Structure 1
Amino acid sequence: MKKDDLFQALHEDGLLLLANCWDGGSARLAQAAGAQALATSSAAVAWSHGHADGSHLPVELLLATARGIGRVSDLPLTVDIEDGYSDDPAQVAALVRELIGVGVVGINIEDGGGPVELLCRKIAAVRAAAAGTRLYINARTDVYLRGLAPAGERVSETIRRAALYRDAGASGLFVPGVSDEADIGALAGAIGMPLNVMALPQLPAPARLRELGVRRLSAGSATGEAAYAAAHEAIVAFLGSGAVAARSLGYGAINALMVA
């Protein structure tokens, strides 16, 4: 099965878990752990290049990251392109064409605090640019994450946006920040495409998410945050005492993963 077809199929039933990665090394770790597909975290990718999250990453570094992951893994790869790094739908579409050219089969693209109509135009341009492939366009809406509607109106506002994004060509909807079971069930039953949520401490367990109709669960920046926390702890300890970190996978184990 082609990668784009496989990635589509992974959203049809069950729950696809994506432990977001940020480079070839973290992609190898995810694949070795049993990942069915790979997804980048925009934050972790930006941090790995010394940039802040929030569309600050130069697109050439985004493309280099996608190429680096594709070099070491044959799993389907979806890339978080934030807002597309442009307000011009044509430029967003051009970036996605380049990503498709290096083997990417899915993208995340978000509305953030911007106009819904602008994201619709970007999605439509990307869908046209992806003609001939089954690119999975995961439209992210920040209604919950940014509080773009009052608490009692977030379900209806998310459903409204979902219909517009679906009509523009989106394949699925990502709603980071939602955690209430009733809200999740209502969204899954009404949006007419696979629902993606982000891992949070208060989120229902994966088995319950499947029952509610969720088809994709993303770690978001959590894996990157954990990696940077461990690195920071080890650096601080070493600079303070000369001690090396006690917790480690070990040189040999890590190096073996990189030559697999």
Structure 2
Amino acid sequence: MSSLQEKAENFRNLHEKGNPLVLYNIWDPGTAKIAASSGAPAIATGSWSVAEAFGFPDGEKLPRNLAMENINRICNSVDIPVSMDLEAGYGRSPEQVAQSVILAGQNSAVGVNFEDQIIDGKGLYSIEDQVARVAAAKKASNTLDVPIFINARTDIFLQASEVDDQKELLQEVITRGQAYADAGADGFFVPALTDACLIRELCDTCPLPINIMMMSGCPSVSELANLGVARISHGPGPFRAAMELIKKNCSTLYGD
């Protein structure tokens, strides 16, 4: 069995620009085992999938203690690195974020996703507020026996409308990426960014490994690698596909 330190180092090293870590997001020990046995070098949860699997809506409605119990069971079920989707840190203050990061590390996660949208609020945290939260997450990580990978996420493109100027949005993303890097983030996750030219510009400009999520309109894995992406997530797609298969099978059985 690999030690937690070995898993953490391996996970960090898997973030390679142009040779991305591909994560097929899972939600429980059963799906974790399937991904691991299929050759996945690492796995990660997706908050939407985990919440739905437990009967909760997304947005930190899944109680934190249940989320931590779940990540602990997942980590103990496989011998590969596991990253946890921590949403916005289960709290608005830097101190609350720090506590959540410590709990994730204590439950054997070697990485966390950590977003800048305001849960149960409007819009995103200001750059200044989110920098304080990222810095607290990093400081908390460094107190652990095995520091974890802080994957800072911005929801600028995820919350954008069709009329928003994509290039202007990218400039805000780049600004946040640099600020989060300065605050100690280890990676930068930009879901809903799908334009190849903008992805390349981000990868060329931001000092952090870039994480892109596979979704409609997104370049292929090989194309993303050529653009300089270092990490690719599948988000809620795997859960939705699994549920559609179950729905289809139940409809066949019960005649719906």
Residue segments in structure 2 that go unaligned for 5+ positions in a row:
118-122
Residue segments in structure 1 that go unaligned for 5+ positions in a row:
242-260
Q: Name the residue aligned to 2:69.
A: 64
**SS of structure 2 residue aligned to 1:52:** coil
Q: Name the residue aligned to 1:247.
A: none
Q: Name the residue aligned to 1:130.
A: 141
2:172 equivalent to 1:157: yes
Residues 84-130 of structure 1: per-residue CA shift (max 9 Å, x gap): 11102111111211111121110001112221322212211111111
Q: Name the residue aligned to 1:223.
A: 238
Find the partner of 2:216 among 201, 208, 232: 201
Residues 161-199 of structure 1: per-residue CA shift (max 9 Å, x gap): 101111111111101111111100000010101000000
**CA apart distance, 1:232:** 2.1
Distance (whole Å) between structure 2 residues aligned to residue 64 and residue 134 of structure 1: 20
Distance (whole Å) between structure 2 residues aligned to residue 221 and residue 195 of structure 1: 19
Find the partner of 1:12 among 5, 12, 16: 16
Q: Name the residue aligned to 1:23.
A: 28
Number of residue pairs aligned between Structure 1 and Structure 2: 241
Q: Name the residue aligned to 1:80.
A: 85
1:87–1:118 CA contact under 8 A, matched in 2: no
1:180–1:203 CA contact under 8 A, matched in 2: yes
Residues 59-90 of structure 1: per-residue CA shift (max 9 Å, x gap): 01110111110121011111001111110211
**SS of structure 1 residue aligned to 2:194:** coil
1:67–1:102 CA contact under 8 A, matched in 2: yes
Q: Name the residue aligned to 2:129.
A: 118
The residue type equivalent to 2:176 in the other structure is R
Find the partner of 2:152 among 133, 139, 151: 139
TM-score by length of 2: 0.90
Distance (whole Å) between structure 2 residues aligned to residue 65 and residue 169 of structure 1: 27
Find the partner of 1:49 among 47, 54, 60: 54
Distance (whole Å) between structure 2 residues aligned to residue 105 and residue 221 of structure 1: 21
**Mapping for residues 175-254 of structure 1, pairs under 5 Å:** 175-240=190-255
Distance (whole Å) between structure 1 residues aligned to residue 251 and residue 158 of structure 2: 32
Q: Name the residue aligned to 2:120.
A: none
1:80–1:109 CA contact under 8 A, matched in 2: yes
Question: Share of identical aligned residues, percent?
Answer: 36
The residue type equivalent to 2:124 in the other structure is G
2:124–2:155 CA contact under 8 A, matched in 1: no
2:83–2:109 CA contact under 8 A, matched in 1: yes
The residue type equivalent to 2:33 in the other structure is R
**SS of structure 2 residue aligned to 1:196:** strand
**SS of structure 2 residue aligned to 1:36:** coil
1:5–1:134 CA contact under 8 A, matched in 2: no
**CA apart distance, 1:236:** 3.1
2:26–2:46 CA contact under 8 A, matched in 1: yes
For the aligned residues, what is the CA RMSD? 1.5
2:16 equivalent to 1:3: no
2:105–2:147 CA contact under 8 A, matched in 1: no
2:113 equivalent to 1:108: yes
Distance (whole Å) between structure 1 residues aligned to residue 8 and residue 22 of structure 2: 17
